[in-house]
Amino acid sequence: MTDDHQRLQRAIQLAQTNVAQGGRPFGAVLTRDGDVLVEAVNEIHLTQDPTAHAELLAIRAASRQLGTRLDGCVIYASGQPCPMCLSAMYLCGVERVVFAASNEMAEPYGLSTAAIGQQVGLPVSEQRLPIQHLPDEAMTTLYHQWKTLHAPE
């Protein structure tokens, strides 16, 4: 059995345990250089935090160990990562994602996030959620200040 398959099986086992404990069927395993760094499950049912997805919790825990960059890390997830989790993976530099259940497989159970992915892929003016841009010149000054303070030497 390949490492990918073993790690994915572990994510599925975590999801199974989470369902048995009243949670959602989502588990994640985060590795670096083949070593498991973090295992996590969806904790929405425990925390009432809608962002407490297994992948995000794994990223948060790994970031506490490694810092904000997770270059070289792989996330194994029981389900296809939602747009929020996928965005976080891009932001922190996760190298690769492997998942078991697709959005198509999850759809009949009300667990697909494909519709959200479609919405966030649209131009802001076409998204269902009203989003208003109110430009403020103070932000240009603030961005300039940030860049000055964080410019490479």
Would you please indicate which residues are annotated as catalytic (active-site) residues?
55
Q: 124 in helix, strand or coil?
A: helix
Residues of 71-101 as b/e, b for ≥16 C-beta within 10 angstroms? eebbbbbbbbbbebbbebbeebebeebbbbb
Environment class of 31 (CB within 10 Å of its CB; exposed 0-12, middle 13-18, buried 19+): buried
Q: Which residues pair with 38 in a beta bridge?
A: 30
